[in-house]
Structures are given as C-alpha cells and as structure tokens.
C-alpha cells in the first residue's frame, strides 16, 4: 500500500504539459496563456468623456454655483464613435456623450446633472446656451488616452490562467484568438456487466452507469475534453476493444473492475497492454486503484497513454478522481497550482478512523462567527453518491489518526473552490523553545522590540502549561462570565481583543493560529515544543549541555555560552549568541520571513 502523496507523485510523473495551440478566445476560458501579449494600441485610443455632459474649458466655470451659474455657448454635439469637428473656444461648450472623444480646447466634462439642461428643456428654452452649476477642475470626467492599456506594454504574461476578464482584455486588444496550452482529451470508460446506459430501461439486477457522467463532468470542470467510450463488459475482449478506442486520448480513465472480485479484470488488461503503476493506495474510500501507462504502436510511433483505473463505487471513483485525475489534468493544462484548496474547520461529528488509512469524509461546510464548521453529510458508504451531492468538502482524517471527536479541528478540501484559493496567506512563524529558566521569555521580549524597530507587525504567542491563564482579573465581567460557565469569553474594546476559550485538550498550534489571523509579518511563539513549527532552542550554559529538542527539529541554537561550545560541532546547527538580539533577528528574517515571501510567489 502506498501513500496518497506517493501515488500522486507517480501519476504526475507520467503526464506532461501539453503543447500550445491557437484557439478562438471564447474557447480559452480556464486555459493557460502560452505567449506574452503586448499591446499595439492605446486603450482608450483618445482622451474621451467618462460622462454624458458638456465638454468645456475648466477655467470658464470658475466660481460657478447653482445660484450663480456660468453660461456658455453650445457649439455642437459629439456622440460616441464619431470624431469632433469643432474646437471648444473660450466661453463655449460642446454637448458630449460617454466615450466620445474630447474635442480640442476642452479639458473637462461637466455632467448633465450639474448643468441647467433639464430645466431648460422643460421650459422649452433653446439649448444654444447652457448654464454650468458647479466649478470644474481640469481633467474632471476625462478618461485619458492609454490610461487603461498603454501601447507597447506587456499586458498579459505567459502562464496566466485566462478568466473572463483576461478574455475581455484580449478582445479589447483586438485579438480574436490566443495561444494557449491545449486542453487534454480524456477518454472515459465505465466497466461492469451490471451497467446500463442512461437512455435504456433497467432490467432486473442492472443499474444505470453514473460514473461516466460524474467523471466526464469533472473532466470538463477542470478544463479537459471528455471522450466517452461507453460501457465495457467484464471480459478481456470487451475491455481490450473499448480501451483501444481511447488510445488517441491524452489520458484514459476507467471505473470499476480494479478490486479483488472475480470479474475485476481491468488490471489484467492493463498488465497485458502496458506497465502497471500501483494497485492500492492508503486511502478510504478508494483503496483499489490501478495506474499505469498503456503502450500502443501507431504507425511508426509508440504512444504512451496514462491510464487511471478508478474504483467502481461512485463515491470512491469521484474522490480518487479529485485526488489523482484532477491534478494530472491541471498539470497537462499547464496550471501551476495543483493542490486542492483546503480550510481548517471545527468538525461537528465524531469520526472514527479504524484501519489506518487516510479517510475522506463528506461534509457540508458553514461559516459562523468567522470560523468554519464541517458536519457529515449522513451515511458515508462509498456507494452513496448523494453523500457527495450534499457535500461542500472532504474532511481529511490522517492515516496516523484514530479519528476525531466533535469539536476537533480538521482539514477540509473544498470541492468547489478554485485552486488559487488554496494559496491562503499565512503569517511566517518561528517558535522559541528551551528549558524552564533558559531565558526564552526575555529573548522573545527582546526580539519583539527588535522587530518592532524594523517596522514589523508582530504577534507573540505563548504556550502555557498551567490551567489558569491570567488574561483577566477575578471580579472583572469576563471572569464572572467564565465563572458562570461560559465556554468561551471574549472582550473587545475599540482597540483590543482578548479571547479565552476552554478546551478539553492541550490545544495544538493549528487550532490556535486561526484565531491569531494571517495579517502579521511574523508570529513569534514561545513554547509548543511538540509542534512541527520551525524552532530555535534557547540554551543556557549553567543548565548543562543537553538540548530539550532533538537537533534535527531545530533551525538554530541560541546560547549564552561561548560560541566554541562542543554543541557547535556535534549538532551542525547555526549557533547564535543570546546577547546579540540583532543577529538572531537577522537569522529569523532571512530564514523565515523572507523565505516564506519567496515561496509565496
């Protein structure tokens, strides 16, 4: 049995980014641009009006008010799409529509509502003059030539995923086509003697083939082109014939026939026709999966088609598609972000994980008071497709976990979020650990002061082992609320927020960080030595040479001992002097703050 990560790595190793092709822009939604697009024109092409109104010289409106309008002679009118034929001389104005080019001489546009046009029209006064009711500044309601897009500039960069707005930009630039990475063609084959096509009545013992449609819709959703091969029967001949029809595709996805039943022969056919990748993945649902490469000689060329054999159960096939086929399709499309967007949510049900596999539980996700909550969509059998239909996400219970209890934090893969939303910003973080009395609190204090001097927004987080947290004093209102039994107490003032929540377990760092929020330049943590955070251990000479953490877990050691202590040689870690706060801050800045900024882009 291999892990989900290993399986994904093997799948991704067998697929390549496809070649670019030129397509009509409307077909390119979600595709990756394969060329830089420069502008050969200015947009807008000329200075023009942002309003329906009067083009005039701003200086002619000096001190105009409603009670004392400035009167100008109207010398013409310009509609969008036509060119001005007259200039605006001092004391004159030209009636102008939104988008029409600004006439020579004019430097501002006053909108109709700021003129007496309406009252003139109702009193049937002639529009040869217009009263301006407010003073206009130069440039008022004027859109400058090239203010959106300037000629010669790089407008869309190669690698950009085309959304409706980019397709609009291409159209504005006058491109009817774009060079984009080709969409993969994904052949889809359902297998099983029990399957009936959707347009046929069901005979006894038969079911409709739903996987073809779920999978085809998923392929389309992620940008591929589904090629439906129909239903293959549980015989080597039928499968071989059907699979053959799919070997022009960039990828073949079958469903069913990969477990241990007598009729599960997809893997036999695969073994005969190509290289077998793997059969079992440490996940639930979806343990039996086949992956391999089918080799086919076409003319003089050998074609290699990656084949993903998904399990037949409708939920299993969809969840395994999400974990393996989706990233493969995205990679072929040239997309860079392949990971499913995840959030952390409080789970509202107990979920047991009995057999040490990674469990994907179907959940609905809601957001209350800024916190996501996930609850099971009901029975979780891998044949219950409606459990997916009701789900917003998949709660991921790690293989190392025996399960979660209601109230625990879980990671949830969001089914309907775009990949980009997974790149949520988090604050860089480092934890200062050390034995009691080693001087870590003083170091954290000094680092806070140092980073504040450097202009950082800092959050400091303390891990305490005692049950009482002295944030509030006995007798205060929040203390009374807690005494009365409230599980969480929060006090906010115009400038501060304090939050105390009871917990039945030692809170993990990932349960605490969402409360801190993502807006800090750095989170300095004191303690949490058992977490997987990057750690710097504070060592004090008089407490002996032993470290609290094993050296592999540490990024550096801070010590008050001399720097040629035996520690330096044996651990091969950077050794920093406890007294040199600036050097420690430099180290943190370089290794955690700047490194995290670089990896985000």
CB atoms within 10 A of CB 149: 17
Cβ proximity to Mg ion: between 192 and 428 the closer is 192
Nearest approach in angstroms of CB 325 to ligand AMP is 15
β-strand 53-56 against 497-501: which pairing, if any?
unpaired
Evaluate whether 559 touches 542 at the Cβ level (below 8 Å): no
Evaluate whether 283 touches 360 at the Cβ level (below 8 Å): yes
Q: Interhelix angle for 440-453 vs 581-588, to 10°?
A: 70
- Closest chain position to ligand AMP (CB): 312
User: What is the footprint of Mg ion within residues 445-484 (CB under 5 A)?
Assistant: none
**CA 246 – CA 250 distance, rounded (Å):** 9
Cβ proximity to Mg ion: between 209 and 526 the closer is 209
Residue 190 partner contact from ligand AMP, Mg ion, none using kind-dependent CB cut-offs of 5 to 8 Å: ligand AMP
**CA 283 – CA 534 distance, rounded (Å):** 29
Cβ proximity to Mg ion: between 95 and 307 the closer is 307
Nearest approach in angstroms of CB 360 to ligand AMP is 17
CB atoms within 10 A of CB 341: 19
Residue 280 partner contact from ligand AMP, Mg ion, none using kind-dependent CB cut-offs of 5 to 8 Å: none
Cβ proximity to ligand AMP: between 140 and 195 the closer is 195
Evaluate whether 438 touches 540 at the Cβ level (below 8 Å): yes
**CA 452 – CA 237 distance, rounded (Å):** 72
**CA 266 – CA 244 distance, rounded (Å):** 13
Cβ proximity to ligand AMP: between 360 and 372 the closer is 360
Query: Where does this chain touch Mg ion (CB under 5 A) — which range of 129-137, 185-193, 338-346, 564-572?
Result: 185-193
Q: What string marks each residue from 186 to 215 as x (binds Mg ion by CB under 5 A) or -?
A: ------x-----------------------
Beta carbons within 8 Å of 527's beta carbon, 6+ residues apart: 431, 433, 462, 463, 464
* 256 binds Mg ion, rule: CB under 5 A: yes
Evaluate whether 254 touches 309 at the Cβ level (below 8 Å): yes
Beta carbons within 8 Å of 389's beta carbon, 6+ residues apart: none
Interface with ligand AMP (CB under 6 A): 190, 192, 194-195, 207, 209-212, 255-259, 261, 264, 311-314, 383
Nearest approach in angstroms of CB 14 to Mg ion is 24
Nearest approach in angstroms of CB 220 to ligand AMP is 17
Instruction: Write out the H or E segment, with its range, that includes residue 163.
Output: none
Cβ proximity to Mg ion: between 192 and 527 the closer is 192
Query: Where does this chain touch Mg ion (CB under 5 A) — which range of 68-76, 241-249, 257-265, 542-550?
Result: 257-265
Nearest approach in angstroms of CB 263 to Mg ion is 6
Beta carbons within 8 Å of 174's beta carbon, 6+ residues apart: 40, 41
Nearest approach in angstroms of CB 19 to ligand AMP is 32
Nearest approach in angstroms of CB 286 to ligand AMP is 10
Query: Whose CA is closest to 117, among 135, 93, 141, 142?
Result: 93
Residue 194 partner contact from Mg ion, ligand AMP, none using kind-dependent CB cut-offs of 5 to 8 Å: ligand AMP
Cβ proximity to ligand AMP: between 44 and 312 the closer is 312
* 44 binds Mg ion, rule: CB under 5 A: no
CA distances from 408 to 476, 496, 512 (A): 30, 27, 12
Residue 44 partner contact from ligand AMP, Mg ion, none using kind-dependent CB cut-offs of 5 to 8 Å: none
Cβ proximity to ligand AMP: between 20 and 314 the closer is 314
Record the tokens describing residue 535, joined without a space: 């750690």
- Burial (0-12, 13-18, 19+ Cβ within 10 Å), 232: buried
Nearest approach in angstroms of CB 214 to ligand AMP is 8
Nearest approach in angstroms of CB 383 to ligand AMP is 6
Record the tokens describing residue 82, joined without a space: 């036509």
Cβ proximity to Mg ion: between 226 and 312 the closer is 312
Which residues form the interface with Mg ion (CB under 5 A)?
192, 256-257, 312
């Amino acid at each position: 049995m291999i892990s989900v990560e290993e399986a994904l790595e093997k799948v991704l190793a067998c697929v390549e980014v496809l070649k670019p092709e030129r397509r009509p822009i409307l077909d390119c939604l979600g595709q990756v641009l394969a060329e830089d697009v420069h502008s050969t024109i200015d947009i807008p092409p000329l200075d023009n009006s942002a309003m329906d109104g009067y083009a005039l010289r701003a200086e002619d409106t000096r001190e105009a008010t409603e009670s004392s309008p400035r009167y100008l002679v109207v010398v013409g009118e310009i509609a969008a799409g036509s060119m001005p034929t007259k200039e605006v001389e001092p004391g004159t104005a030209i009636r102008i529509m939104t988008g029409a080019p600004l006439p020579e001489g004019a430097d501002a546009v006053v909108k109709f509502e700021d003129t007496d046009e309406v009252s003139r029209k109702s009193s049937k006064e002639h529009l040869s003059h217009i009263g301006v009711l407010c003073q206009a500044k130069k440039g008022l309601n004027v859109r400058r030539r090239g203010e959106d897009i300037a000629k010669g500039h790089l407008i869309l960069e190669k690698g950009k995923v085309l959304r409706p707005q980019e397709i609009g930009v291409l159209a504005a630039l006058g491109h009817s086509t774009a060079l984009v990475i080709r969409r993969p063609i994904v052949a889809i084959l359902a297998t099983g003697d029990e399957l009936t096509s959707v347009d046929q009545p069901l005979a006894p013992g038969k079911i409709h083939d739903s996987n073809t449609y779920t999978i085809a819709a998923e392929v389309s959703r992620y940008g591929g082109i589904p090629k439906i091969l129909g239903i293959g029967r549980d015989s080597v001949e039928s499968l071989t014939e059907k699979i053959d029809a799919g070997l022009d595709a960039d990828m073949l996805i079958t469903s069913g026939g990969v477990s241990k039943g007598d009729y599960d022969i997809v893997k036999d056919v695969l073994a005969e026709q190509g290289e077998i990748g793997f059969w079992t993945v440490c996940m639930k649902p979806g343990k039996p999966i086949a992956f391999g490469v089918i080799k086919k000689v076409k003319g003089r060329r050998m074609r290699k088609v990656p084949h993903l054999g998904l399990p037949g159960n409708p939920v299993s096939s969809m969840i395994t598609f999400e974990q393996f086929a989706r990233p493969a399709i995205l990679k072929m499309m040239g997309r860079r972000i392949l990971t499913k967007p995840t959030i952390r949510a409080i789970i509202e049900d107990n979920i047991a994980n009995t057999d040490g596999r990674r469990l994907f539980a179907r959940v609905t996700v809601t957001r209350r008071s800024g916190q996501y909550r996930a609850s099971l969509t009901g029975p979780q059998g891998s044949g219950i497709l409606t459990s997916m239909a009701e789900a917003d996400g998949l709660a991921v219970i790690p293989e190392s976990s025996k399960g979660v209890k209601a109230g625990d934090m879980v990671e949830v893969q969001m089914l309907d979020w775009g990949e980009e939303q997974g790149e949520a910003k988090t604050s860089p973080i480092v934890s200062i650990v050390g034995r009691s009395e080693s001087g870590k609190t003083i170091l954290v204090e000094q680092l806070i002061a140092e980073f504040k001097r450097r202009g950082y927004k800092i959050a400091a987080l303390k891990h305490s082992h005692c049950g009482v947290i002295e944030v509030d004093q006995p007798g205060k209102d929040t203390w009374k609320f807690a005494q009365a039994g409230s599980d969480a107490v929060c006090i906010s003032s115009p400038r501060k927020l304090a939050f105390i929540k009871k917990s039945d377990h030692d809170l993990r760092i990932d349960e605490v960080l969402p409360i801190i929020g993502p807006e800090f330049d750095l989170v300095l943590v004191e303690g949490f030595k058992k977490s997987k955070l990057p750690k710097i251990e504070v060592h004090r000479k008089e407490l002996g040479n032993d470290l609290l953490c094993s050296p592999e877990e540490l990024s550096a050691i801070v010590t008050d001992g001399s720097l040629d202590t035996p520690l330096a040689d044996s651990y091969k870690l950077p050794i920093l002097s406890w007294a040199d706060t600036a050097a420690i801050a430099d180290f943190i800045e370089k290794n955690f703050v700047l490194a995290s900024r670089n990896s985000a882009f």
